[in-house]
Chain A
Amino acid sequence: MYSERVMDHFRNPRNVGEIENADGIGEVGNPVCGDMMTFYVKVEAGRLKDVKFKTFGCGAAIAVSSMVSEMAVGKTLEEALKITNAMVAQELGGLPPNKLHCSNLGADALHRAIEDYQRKKAS
């Protein structure tokens, strides 16, 4: 059902965890939908120095979270905000059609964490 890339990221997810005193936190989804993701970011000199996540969800949701985190680390905030759901799905070698909404959650959660950082910084 899932591609090899998806299964690899599901079985060995990168960047699982939380960041103490994270610069930004983003949460999307809820258990009613079946998937929920929380992303934590650490920012240094305008770049994502560290990205971690916790995910409640199916194999696709976990793989997407892992892939998003891997794609985001080291990028500038502007670059990271340009990561789209379609890019994540493509990097994973595709997702089953009924699982595409999981990849939507992944990029959204990352963007929310970055926006949370930007909001805190502005205030």
Chain B
Amino acid sequence: MKRAYFDHAAGTPVDSRVLGAMLPYFREQFGNPQSIYGEGGVAKAALDLSRRQVARLLNAEPEEIIFTASGSESNNLALKGIAAARSDKGRHIVISAIEHVSVQSTARTLGRHGFQVTEVPVDDKGVVDPAAVKAAIRKDTIVVSVMAANNEVGTIQPLAEIAGVCREAETLFHTDAVAACGVIPLDVRVLNTDCLTLAAQTFGGPKGAAALFVRKGLRLPSQIEGGNQEHNWRAGSENMPAIVGLGKAAELAQAEMASRAAALTVLRDRLIRELPVRVERSYLTGHPNQRLPGHASFCMEFIEGEAMLLFLDDAGISVASGSACTSKSLKASHALLAMGLPHSLAQGSLMLTLSPENTDDDVTRLLEAMPGIVRRLRQMSPLYAQFQKDPAGYAERLSKEKECHV
């Protein structure tokens, strides 16, 4: 039986039309766009077309697009690049408390090298308050980085307002739009953003293909030095199949965004409506409607996410969790904790990210599998046992959560 796959944030099948566009660039059109003979010209034309396709998706100019190998690389380039370019203007960086680790870790590394970092909190729905960003900005703030939409809870941020606050304070604004770009409309002119990170795998493109938009006039020192590819922004021979795939995926995402979103929203809303009915004491995480169309995330009380994930895997269903045991670092999702969830609830995290290839049958399978799996794990759970026998004692336990010393 075909598996029901709900972890598109981790990996998405490449759209067959995208794959078709990529394939010639492995063998027939293998040229290097830097070469001046025939093969180079063909590759250069494909590189230029991809750049225009990505620029069009964002309403940017082609020369404002830098191709990179991952969203993480784009985030590193944006933050480290701005830090290097603007350190004479100030040494303060503002990020939100729920940024992807590639933004969070980069900012913290800068924090150990003479920069100061302020993390702006989020509310219980994972929303960053533009007024809180404004309050965090100082005279020496050189950049604010807030993600367009969160990958773990799907919440879409009020980007235009946050960018407005930054513009007013004459601070640069970067947004990590890996989870959002190609899924919801993002117009860099309307949003007034200085840098924006995107990755092809979010919208049917291949892994290893990403880009950074950098507003015209802003110059960031290259973080990978060498040849003069990407107008000296990023050295290294262009990964042509990946770049062509990114361009094609961007073109298709732009053309089909509305219809994809409409279909995904139907599946998402069914999950959000029905799962809490089928499983008592399960809760939606993130914002109920200001969220990505293909994103539904929950916490199942009294149980741990990895165990739930393994039983779902046995049932042919693939999901993700932000629980400590699921992560290699053994830490519960910082995004869920930043939203004020108690650890015991964050441990029961279930994250579902859908793509246009998901069907209503997939959703039905998940909805039907969940109650039995949750029941089985709750029957084993000492927390559930305590809740049933002594609800007051259980509530007290939650309120007195200790630090973990393992």
Contact = CB atoms under 8 A, between A and B. Distances in A.
Contacts of A60: 325
Given A31-B401, A56-B303, A57-B304, A62 B380 contact: yes
A122 to B, nearest CB: 26
A11 B302 CA distance: 18
Interface in B381-406: 381-383, 385, 401-406
A34 B332 contact: yes
B382 A98 contact: no
A86 interface: no
B49 to A, nearest CB: 42
B381 A56 contact: yes
Contacts of A37: 382
A55 B404 CA distance: 17
B370 interface: no
B307 A32 contact: no
Interface residues of B, number: 30
A34 B307 contact: no
A56 B304 contact: yes
A32 B326 contact: no
B5 to A, nearest CB: 18
A33 interface: yes
A89 interface: no
Given A59-B307, A59-B310, A98-B328, A31 B380 contact: no
A49 to B, nearest CB: 22
B404 A58 contact: no
B324 A34 contact: yes
Interface string B294-330: 0000000011101100100010000000011110101
B334 to A, nearest CB: 14
Nearest to B342: A31
A24 to B, nearest CB: 15
Interface string B323-357: 11110101010000000001110010000000000
Contacts of B324: 33-34
B237 interface: no
Given A33-B324, A62-B380, A57 B307 contact: yes
Contact of B323 (A10, A34, A54, A101): A34
A62 B404 contact: no
A33 to B, nearest CB: 4
Contact of A31 (B344, B379, B385, B405): B344
A101 to B, nearest CB: 5
A27 interface: yes
Contacts of A10: 307, 310
A18 interface: yes
Interface string A10-43: 1101001010000000010111111111100000
B382 A34 contact: no
B330 A98 contact: yes
Contact of B382 (A32, A55, A59): A55
B310 A31 contact: no
B304 A34 contact: yes
A61 interface: yes
Nearest to A62: B307
B385 A18 contact: yes
B328 A34 contact: no
A57 to B, nearest CB: 5
B380 A54 contact: yes
Interface string B86-109: 000000000000000000000000
Given A31-B383, A32-B403, A56-B344, 11 more contacts: A10-B310, A13-B380, A30-B404, A31-B342, A32-B401, A34-B332, A34-B404, A35-B304, A38-B385, A61-B304, A98-B330
16 contacts: A13-B380, A16-B379, A29-B406, A34-B404, A36-B383, A38-B385, A56-B303, A56-B347, A56-B381, A58-B307, A59-B307, A61-B304, A62-B380, A98-B328, A99-B325, A101-B330
Interface of B: 302-304, 306-307, 310, 314, 323-326, 328, 330, 332, 342-344, 347, 379-383, 385, 401-406
Interface of A: 7, 10-11, 13, 16, 18, 27, 29-38, 54-62, 98-99, 101
